[in-house]
Amino acid sequence: MIHVTDELELYSLGALAPGDAARVTAHLSECPACREQARAIDEVVQELPETLPGREAPGRLRDRILASARAELATVRAPRRDMAWTARLLRPALVLAAGLWLAVGAAALVNENLSLSNELKVVASDRATYESIVEGIRQGGRWWYMAGKDGWTGSGGTLIAPRAEGRPPFVVFHDLRPLPRGQLYTVWLVSSDNTWVRGATFRPDGKDVQAVDVTAAIAGFDSCAVTIEDSAWGRRAGPVVMESRIVPPAP
């Protein structure tokens, strides 16, 4: 084992390049001796903010943090019934993939299906979110994949409408771009006569994968899209950055 003693000050001060920092992190996770030294250095480094002049944060920041936490509580509420079933799925990721195939069974969407199952594995670290997603898929239903376009190529999201009563539709996004402050992603449900109804408005949370609940009922719409808006209300005004490209499978 190559110890990282020599790099711990750099590591703690944040002065290593990302690759080196990751290597040190990995080493610390398995070496108690280096970990103890790192902790002693961290103790000093973590005092550095105390050398700064006090600076009052804007009053709205507290409200904003609490609002985000509250919104997240609402989004990730986990279904507690049938835990044994989800617990079984939580273990082997392969079983999850198989479960997805059975539950969704949309042969036309091979690529999206595989990518969705991979995304769900990423979310698996957030158990509550994961359970609610698995629960939604297990109950079957319809789903749409929205592919990112233009500057959003590589981003995407799957809108899943569970068949079961009482479980709202939701979107699992992957690789969402960060947005400038004041801008919002908005999910739209689009009917065949081109009526756009707002389904969700949210800010990206910076994770690789993000689940977002949709507040409108899916019935009567046949495609969906994501735009960037300045406001959480009103008609669509911003550019379309993702849209569903395939007619959804029949329920």
Partner 1 sequence: MPNTSDQPDDVLIVALAERDLGALATLYDRYGRLAYALAYRILGEGQAAEDVVHDAYISAWRGAASYRRERGNVRGWLMSIVHHRAVDVLRRKTTFRPAPLEAAAERAADDDTAEAAERNVEHQTVRAALEGLPQAQRRTIELAYFGGYTHVELAELMGVPLGTVKGRMRIGLQKLRRALEVQGTYRERSR
Task: Give the nearer residue to partner 1 in terms of CB position, either 49 or 165.
Answer: 49
Q: Which of 43, 38, 35 is nearest to 11 (CA)?
A: 38
* Amino acid at position 227, single letter: T
Out of partner 1, Zn ion, none, what residue 31 binds, judged by CB under 5 to 8 A for its kind, is Zn ion
Task: Give the nearer residue to Zn ion in terms of CB position, either 8 or 171.
Answer: 8
Which of 22, 26, 61, 102 forms a contact with partner 1 (CB under 8 A)?
61
Task: Give the nearer residue to partner 1 in terms of CB position, either 15 or 217.
Answer: 15
> Can you tell me which residue has the tokens 């390049």?
17
Angle (CA) 178-181-184 rounded to 5° is 70
Question: Is the sign of the CA dihedral 50, 54, 57, 59 positive or negative?
Answer: positive
Q: Under a CB-based contact definition with an 8 Å cutoff, are residues 189 and 170 in contact?
A: no
Please, which of residues 2-41 interact with partner 1 by CB under 8 A?
6, 9-10, 12-17, 35, 39-41
Could you say whether residue 208 binds partner 1 (CB under 8 A)?
no
Which of 10, 21, 31, 106 forms a contact with Zn ion (CB under 5 A)?
31
Out of partner 1, Zn ion, none, what residue 41 binds, judged by CB under 5 to 8 A for its kind, is partner 1
Which of 8, 34, 211, 212 forms a contact with Zn ion (CB under 5 A)?
34
Q: Which of 159, 61, 64, 161 is nearest to 112 (CA)?
A: 159
The whole-angstrom separation of Cα 2 and Cα 245 is 51
Q: Under a CB-based contact definition with an 8 Å cutoff, are residues 3 and 34 in contact?
A: yes
Which of 44, 108, 114, 237 forms a contact with partner 1 (CB under 8 A)?
44
Q: Which of 161, 168, 117 is nearest to 140 (CA)?
A: 161
Binding interface with partner 1 (CB under 8 A): 6, 9-10, 12-17, 35, 39-58, 61-62, 64-66, 68-70, 72-73, 126, 181, 205-206
Binding interface with Zn ion (CB under 5 A): 3, 31, 34
